[in-house]
Amino acid sequence: MNKRIFPVILVVIGLVCFGGYLTVNKGKKDKEDKGGGVSNPAVQELYTQAMTMGENNELAKAKEVYRQIVNDHPDFKEIDTVQKQLEEVSMKIIFSSLETPDTVIHEVKAGDTLGKIAKEYNTTMDLIKRRNNLKSDTIRLGQRLSIWKGIFSIFVDKSQNTLMLKANEEVVKIYRVSTGVNNSTPVGTFIIANKLVDPVWYKSGAIIPPESSDNALGSRWMGFDIPGYGIHGTIEPDRIGQQITAGCVRMRKEDVEELYSLLPVGTKVTIVD
């Protein structure tokens, strides 16, 4: 090859490569700017605003901003954190005495009990007590109670081993769960037919008491209207996320206890493959 031509070829190759580099990076920057990536200062500002609102206990406002980011900017760099904070704020609203379109104030009248009020509004005694900071089941005549009246439902995806808590069809929180080995968890729409604290486990004729370390049901049971199946706790939290159960849906202790406090008997449960 002519010695004069060789340097020219190298220069041309270099310019082509450099031009390609500029094109790729320009495309990447354009995507970030349009898609809500970390380079977009407007999205970062929204995120900062939401965190400040949460810190100032402006929970409803914080929820709306977090939801805006999740819906409009799914490729935001901190989107996983935003989703987690949206769940935390949503749960705080449910457990707080904050008035929302999903709440009502009930004035205690003669003959009222917590159980009667919970049944009237299709909620739980646990949630009424937590929303109103009650330390016992005792209520007094004329007392004004903040009541959650939103309708909860459950959606279980066996392929992902996730359980989705919804309120009026709006996703509130997503939990990691375990489902049945060999696809043994039934598919369909069911209801929670019964609830038990510290359940006894009846296993192949054996009776395993709640205090036993071998009781695989854990601290809570929410049984479906199909015998033998339900949502319960676990004694193997490190195996959550696997398809290992005999057909039930398993949850970590803190998760199943949280869910138990929210869901009344009659709650709809949908399970899909």
Q: Which two tokens stand for residue 183?
A: 């696809």
Instruction: With CA atoms as reference, report the closest residue to 148 among 161, 129, 163.
Output: 129
Residue 184 CB partners (closer than 8 Å, separation 6+) = 245, 246, 247
Q: How many CB atoms lie within 10 A of CB 174?
A: 16
Residue with tokens 């919970």: 118
Contact 158, 183 (CB under 8 A): yes
- DSSP summary character for residue 269: E
CA distances from 17 to 13, 14, 164 (A): 6, 5, 48
- Residues 17, 73, 106, 248: which is the catalytic one? 248
Secondary structure of residue 232 in the 3-state scheme: strand
17 among known catalytic residues: no
Instruction: With CA atoms as reference, report the closest residue to 244 among 184, 157, 192, 168.
Output: 184
Q: Which two tokens stand for residue 27?
A: 């495309």
Taking the C-alpha atoms of residue 103 and residue 108, their distance in angstroms, rounded to an integer, is: 16
Contact 174, 90 (CB under 8 A): no
Residues belonging to the active site: 232, 248
